Every structure is written in structure tokens, then in C-alpha cells.
Structure 1
Amino acid sequence: MPRRPERRPRRIASEGALFATRVIRATLKCTQGIADCQIQCEQGVFGPPCDPVPQPGCCDPDDPSSNATFGACMDEAQAVCDEQTAKIDAYELNKQTHITLACEDLTPDELCGSQAEGLNFATLNAGCLALDPTYVCNLPNLVGCVGGPLERALVDQISATLDPRAPEAVAALNLQSHFPDIPITRKVKDTVPAGKVDVWSITGQAGDQIVVRVRTGDDNGNDTSSLHPGLSLLQSDATTPVGSTNVRNVDCPFPNVCGSKCPLLKRTLPFDGTFHLAVSGVADDGCTGGKYRLLVTSPGGSVPQLVRDDADPTP
């Protein structure tokens, strides 16, 4: 008995859902394995952490070569990621094969123009054409549109939501080519005195979603900080604030002696080009300045570059 044409969209949906479930599981198995190694490094399982006092053999969660045991853990995590990315490639091939077999007996009119109940290929094709003006309706192109890069992008975004450390994991082992739509977290660190500001440059494109955090360090040897950190997003001139940017305050990893919070900024970039992040040491009665780590999460993984160090704040 021939397959019923009205079941084709349902088959596309079911194959897409199965693919998404498998890829999310594989992605999380990879990123969480890396995160587990990094967390153990931060907690001193592999040896003394390099923060706050670097020493030979200390463990830096952003540098697998810093500690041999940590490096071995990351090598094992890399092997798991290699295995999972190979599975993801197989899942993609299986999905496309199954959809193609289910739809190969459709006529061109059914594939490209049907609007019958349960057979709304015309709507699917209209959406594909809206996304790509060069789109031409045929079975390979339809499969590529409905279940190709767009679905993979959505799956990566879901994976990053389920595993908040995924952007750090992708950066740690340079996995951008395997998970192109998981944003990347870049980290830099420095010190800033109270009343001064460090300015860092980043690049991005209009529409990029960025998350910027400033984390305090242990300045006093007792898990406390002497820095009251401030944060602002500036335009390409490194002076003018980017309007409509809200910075909220969250708990600091190392509480500071003046009782302030740490800044966190989420923003959609309004234009292409260079932006600047100003990390300041807020002057108050209790904090004199200290160490910080700047974390920037973005789709392109722009690495912050220090352009002004311990500068006077712009009026």
C-alpha cells in the first residue's frame, strides 16, 4: 500500500524531533564532561588552583596544560566530544535519509504546492523562500531548509540554555567548528584601583546577543575582595555609552569588604563594529580596588583586548 501523502509533514516533524533530542543529549555529554574537569580544577581536586596565587603545578581551568592531571581529564573529555560529534554527523545523515525515503514518491505539485489538510508543503516552501531568495523547490533543498542549519542552530541554542557552562566548555577545547551556534565565553583578568577604569575592546555584529560579567578575586587571602566593580558598555569611541543598556547586580564569587555586588550586562548589539567595556573600581569608603575577571559571552567569541589600563574615568 502506498504511503499516504498527508503523513509526510508529520514524518518530517518526527524525524526532526528525534534528531534534536539526540543532538542535545550528545552535546550535553560533551560540554558537561569538560565542565566537570574545570569545576574539579577550580575546587582544587587536581592540585592548588592558580587563583589567587599562581605556583608551579597549579590548576588553571582555562589552561589544560597548567596541570598534568587536569590535562589528562580534559584529554578524556576531548575523546568523548570527538565520539559525540561523530554521532551527531550520523544523526544528521539518518534524518535526511529517512525524510527523503518518506517523501521521494511525492509529485512536484504535492511537494511544492500542496495546501491540502495535513499536506502543507506550500507553506513550508514559502518559508524557505523567505529565508533564502535563491531557494528552488525540490526534495533535497526542502530537506536542507527544514532540517538543516536552522534546526541545528536552534538545537545548539537549547543546549547552551540547558548547560550554562557550555560556552566556556566550547572555548576551552576550541570546539566552535563542532558547535557553531553555541556562544563562546572569553575570559581575561586584571586589577583596577578604586577611582580608575580599565577599558577593553570587543567586536560584534548587529543583533549579536552578548553577556558580560565581572567577577571579583581573592585580594586578602581570606576569600574576600577589595574591589567594588563597575561595568559599562561604550561605543567605538570608547567614551560614549551605548544607550538602553541595563546592568544588574549579582552576588560576587568573592564577597568584597564594602558589601557591594558584581555587575552583569546582557545586551543585543545595535550595530556592527567595535564596542568597549569599561571595568571600574568604584571609589567608596571600604574598597580600595583589586583583582577581577572579565567574562564576555558572544556568538563570535570576540576576545577582549585591553586598550586603557588604570585610566582616569571619562567625565
Structure 2
Amino acid sequence: MAVLVARGLPDRAVELYRGAIARGVEPDCYTLSTILGACRDLETGQEIHRVAAARACDRDAVVGTALVAMYGRCKRIDEAKRAFDRIQGKNVVSWNAILAAYAEAGLDAGVLELLDSIDVVPDVLVFSKALAACASLGDLAVGRRLHDWIVVQELESETTVENGLISMYARCGSWDRAKAVFARRARDDPVSWNAIISAAARFNQLDLVLDLLREMSGDGVGAGEITFTSVLHACAHAGVAVEGVEIFKLVEEFGCEAIPDHFHCLIDLFGRLGMMEEAEALIDGMPFEPDLVAWTSLAGACKLHRDLDRAARCAENVAALNTRISGPFVLLCSIWNDPDEEILS
């Protein structure tokens, strides 16, 4: 079963488990923890939970942690917390599992509340989740306390933690602290450069983006395709059109060649803001054949903004690509099948 789970065949693993149970095999804690890792549906997970509880395995740290992770995947946070509370001898993996469950459910305040009661030494993953929660809540006070804790644990130089600190301070509007953390990183690490540049773009700090891009280039790291994709993606999600366009113009200035992903980000940005003419014009002006991603992005914007004429042109262009991928066609059909669309009623 462990091999099947490791190879990404959870259904086969569950099938093997059921076959073993039908033959009268008594599962041990190791077997139960393994099969819980394969569970992708609540019903199967609850079935295995009952077996674990009957054998008192649910209090075992490994099995209990697997139960927490399973309930987290199923978005059953109350059950995840109950399973967590029953674990005897919680370890850092157990804490990571419950924090991940809360974080993935968007319960950022819950992440920080849990952290107040943690009774193990936090690791990089724990701090990363906590910093992300602080960033989401904009809680600078807690973020600074976390930073102090991170320094004590000597984890500040870990790339994941470092980038989490940069993002947290940026999200809280504390740019001096974000830049101070960034200043301590390795000058040749493009991941850290991308972290602070993307954060600056996300929060409309265009001048800082430009300064950082030039500083990055001056340090010999070079702002490559991935950097610009990251920054443009951040602009799209922040809905900052002026900044997005300005950064898009910088691609060639910094010696890079615009790639489809750069155009996709800008199309997405225009579409989110209802700038439909600009989005379509960008597609028409691409220096290469517009692909399925470009037209699907525009189609999504057409659905959002009820632009039926433009959606019809999207449909024609998607059809011309002769793709067998059904997603774009389903999306396009949904535009005309929308019961709330008065134009079509």
C-alpha cells in the first residue's frame, strides 16, 4: 500500500486495503496511517477512523496526524481539531498537519490561536504557515513576535522563512522591515529577489519594483522570464493595470524576451478589470499565435462581464485551434446558458 500511495495511486491502495480487510487481515497502526494518506473522500476516511479508534490507534502520533491531514483535505476542520486533540505525544509533524488544515481552510486567525498553545519547537513549515496567516490578517504585532521567535530559533536565513517575512511585512505595509529582511539575504538568490519584487508589485510600489529590478540586474542576477512572470502575476491579482503595463514594458528593457506567460498575465489583469478591448487587442498583437490559455482567459472575462459579442469571437478562435480539451468549450457554453443573462431570455 505504501508503494501505491508513493506512486500516486491512492485508489489502488484503498482497494488493496479493503481486500485485505475482507480476508480477515487485522490492520496495525502503520497500515492505518498509510491508508489514511491515500484517502481522498470523507466516507472512506471516517470508515478508517472508526477502525483506528476501535484499536486505540487514533491516539498514536503517526495515525492521529494522518487523521488530522485527512480531515484537513476534506475541509472538515472540527473533526481535524478533535483528532488532533486526542493525539498523545504530539510532535512537530502533528502541529504542521493541524496548522495546514486551518490555513488551507482560510482560518488564519485560528492558525495564530493554535500557535499560542504549541508545545514543541516550531520548524520552518510551522513558521511559514504562521507568517502567511499574519500576512493575510495584516497583523504586524504578531508578525514581529514571530520574527523574534524565528531569530531565537536561528531560522531567519531559511529561504522559505525569509520570503515569508518579506511577504508578511509587505502585506502589513512595513516596507522598511521588509527591505531590512531582504538586505540580509544572499545577493545571488533569485527566489528572494522574486519574493520582494512580487510583493512590491502586489502593493502598488512601482518605484520600488523598478529600483529592485535595476539593483537585481546590477548584482548580476538578472531579471529573467520567471521574475517578470511572477511580478505580472502579482499585478493581475492585485488589479493594478498601470503598474502591470509599465512592468510589461520593462521586459525588453531588461534584456528579456516576452513569453506567452507574460501576455497571459496581462490579459488576465485586463480581463479582471473589465478592460475587454485592451485584453483582446493584446491577444491580437501577440508576436506569436495566440494559444488556448489566452483565449480561455478572455472567455472567462467575457463571462464575468457579460460580453457576448466578444465571447462569440473567442469561440471562433478556440474552435480554430482544433483542440480536444473540453474546458474552454464548457466555459464558453456556460456564457450562453446562464439563466441570469437577460439578453438571452
Tell me the TM-score normalized by structure 1: 0.30
Going by fraction, where is helix more abundant, 1 or 2? Answer: 2
Kindly indicate whether structure 1 or structure 2 has the higher relative contact order, using CA contacts under 8 Å at least 6 residues apart.
Answer: 1
Structure showing the higher strand proportion among its residues: 1
**TM-score normalized by the length of structure 2:** 0.28
